[in-house]
Structure formats: structure tokens, C-alpha cells
Amino acid sequence: MRWWLVQRISAAVMAGYILLLLARLAILQPKGYAAWQVFWQPVWWRMLTLVCFLGLVVHAWLGIRDVFRDYVFNPAWREWIQTAAELLLLFYLCWACYILWP
Amino acid sequence: MKVGRRRFWYNKPMIRRPKNLNLLTIRFPLNAVVSIQHRISGMFLFLLLPCMLWGLQASLAGEVQFQTTLGVTRHWSFKLFLVWAAWGFFHHFYAGVRHLVQDVRGTGGLHTARISSRLVLALVAVSVAVFAWSLW
């Protein structure tokens, strides 16, 4: 599969999740800590959030890769910066898992 | 070919050629503005990722942390920051949807592309205004 298509699909996944999030916020209207906790309680919602975040990580990875390719001309520098960004995104993914399943 | 000194960020020597980079004489077309802002907002959102994760973690960590997080968001300077972040999100979202539509249906010519650019900018302005209004 082409990477640009992966970026489009991940964008569509995130857009769907955001619409669902807005709908849930509008229906449940969580006010206060207890309601906020209930909002994040369902396992299916946590799973969907993780899927969205996975899409976000892939989308961000491809996006900043394109930006680095356009503006960082030195191949050695670009390699380093890109690797650093990839490690950072991997760390964010682990962090998100930890938040969702503490 | 006249060759200048080596630049530290580029592995090839600089070639001297005439340039017009006087930014006061260059005017970006509307479509280019929407496109470059899509890229800028994307980088901005990437930099905001740790803030979002930290906010979610703090708000779910306990009653006290939840109230602290809410308290921080009630400060006017943080609200300004939130409005800025909302601009980044809305612009990236609407311009991204425009790109997706263009992928599927084609750009439809310069005229259509200009109209959709205006539509994106208008939607962003309205969304950010609604967000700011609901914040204050």
C-alpha cells in the first residue's frame, strides 16, 4: 500500500472518531470528575480511542517525514531528526496506552 | 559556474544565482496560503501532542487533579492558548477535508479551488469564534 493512502485513511479514521467524540460529549455532557470518569469507562470507547491515536501517530509520522524531506536538506541530519521524531511518537503511543489502561 | 562557500546545513556548495526573495514583492495566492497553513498547523498540532496527553492524564488521575486541570483552563492566558490551539485544529481539519475531497473528485479548476479555499477560511473563522465564545 502507498504511504500517501495510509495518511488519507488515518485522517478519515481520526475524523470519524472526532465526530463520535463530539456526539458523545453532546449526549452525555460530563460535568464533574465522576461523570468524566464514567465517560472514559467503557472498554469499547478506550479501544476506539487507541485506534484513533494509532491513526494519529501514523498520520503525524508521515506528515513530519514529508516536512523534513522538504526543509532539511542534509541527509545525515534528516535521518537523525526523523529517528528522534519516530522515537518520540512511539513514546507518545506508550503513554496513551498507559493513560487508557493505568 | 560561480561557487560560494559551503553551508553547514546543506552538503552541496552554494551556487550563486539571481534570486527574488523580497517577501514584500511576493504575494501568496489564496490556495497557497491555505496549503501552507495546513502544514504549519500540522507541525503545531504535533508539538501540542504532549500537552493533550498530559491534560487527559491529569484530568483522569483523581478528583484533586481534575479540579486543578479545570482551574488551569479557567485562566485567561491559558484560554488564549486554547483558542490558538483550536485554530490549529480547525484549520488542519477543514483544510484536510478539502484535500480529501480534492483527492476523490479532483480540484475542479482554479475557480472552484479558490471558492473552497474561501470556504475553509470562513469555516475556520466561525468555528474558532464559536469555540472562543463558549470558552468565555
Could you report the per-residue pLDDT of A8-31, keeping only the tens digit for each?
A: 999 999 999 999 999 999 999 988
Domain B30-135 belongs to what topology? 3 helical TM bundles of succinate and fumarate reductases (1.20.1300)
From the list B39, B45, B56, the residue facing A99 with the nearest CB is: B56
Q: What is the pLDDT of residue B2?
A: 55
Q: What is the mean pLDDT of residues B33-50?
A: 94
Listed range (A88-92, B3-7, B107-111) with the worst mean pLDDT: B3-7
Mean pLDDT of B62-86: 92
Nearest CA in chain A to B94: A15
What mean pLDDT, rounded, does chain B reach? 86
CA B34/CA B36 separation, integer angstroms: 6
Q: What's the CATH architecture for A3-100?
A: Up-down Bundle (1.20)
Crossing angle between the packed helical segments B109-135 and B30-60, to the nearest 10 degrees: 30
pLDDT category at A73 given cuts 50, 70, 90 is: confident
Domain locations in chain B? 30-135
Which one of A13, A22, A33, A56 makes the best mutation probe of the B interface by having the most chain B beta carbons within 10 Å?
A: A33
Q: In chain B, which residues touch A (CB < 8 A)? A: 9-11, 39, 42-43, 45-46, 49-50, 53, 56-57, 59-60, 62-63, 66-67, 93, 96-97, 100, 103
Output the average pLDDT for chain A: 93
Strands (E) located in chain B: 3-6, 13-15
The pLDDT, as a whole number, for residue B28 is 79
The closest CB to that of A63, out of B9, B42, B57, belongs to: B42
Closest CA to A77 of B12, B8, B43, B6: B8
